[in-house]
Structure 1
């Protein structure tokens, strides 16, 4: 393995979230100087993707949120999910997850529009999603009162392991049984610590 590939691998490994090619390039320019360029970085990433895809590793490098990150492979999701669920009690309530689903599929959307769809107040749910950085303010509506508009964040993309909102499954792909595999049925809470967890989909209205 070349020195450049090792450096790229180290940066992706230590990054707390998805890291872009530009961020890798800027870091390597500072540490290695002119001996690196974007084309070589892309080749290094391609080499690493193949390395972890072919090897007997429990994790791989995937593209998400416009960059790259290490994630556990799909066949290990159940074990990792169980471990994280037992280790932490940081959860999204069913109400917050429903609100997040609407925001994901209808963004940018105002709180008033959210409440019209859900039929209940969303103040607390929106606040929790903002606190967890899964949702962010995208601007203001042109409607009367100029209400704030909400949309999903980069952390949302990184957490669910997708590269853009376009990668979300369509409502037709959602199955009722998917809901039954998520969270605690008794408490109605959803574990947000396991990556690649299914997101309940809202039917288009």
Structure 2
């Protein structure tokens, strides 16, 4: 998305401007998944044109050769990614530390699928409160989940479940070895167990 030539940021001191850019960077980093302009606007409680211009400025600033990351825009969604020239270093890191290869969104989705399978994407979205398309796709690519059928309702949505690779990665002989949800007291903490399992694998 490109900045309109005739569009300029209304008068704003550098402290406020830098504060908003810092917040945008933090949101993109913490998300781990692409965020739409509207999502950023909602979190920042600022006008959409202002946020759009600030992001465009940040995109240009990240092009500095000394920066290791950049902001990309795909179908109107923004995401922080590493620069291609650093791919060798990133691959070495991910091979050494498996936990870093999964975003928080992916861990949450995986935990929900592990305990609730078979489950549809819509049900996963409802539990998480946000869309899980990207997280599910990543989990499929890593062979941690798979399609296990379709729900017999209009539209026949896909049902997802974990794979044998999931069991291998988390050193489980079967799903019965997952701790009972009664131990957690609330489903919001489902992902905590998987994070602990990932730490044990390092």
Q: TM-score range by the shorter chain?
A: 0.3 to 0.5
Under a length normalisation based on structure 1, what TM-score does the superposition of the two structures give? Answer: 0.44
Question: Relative contact order (C-alpha < 8 Å, sep 6+): which is higher?
Answer: 1
TM-score, normalised on structure 2?
0.45
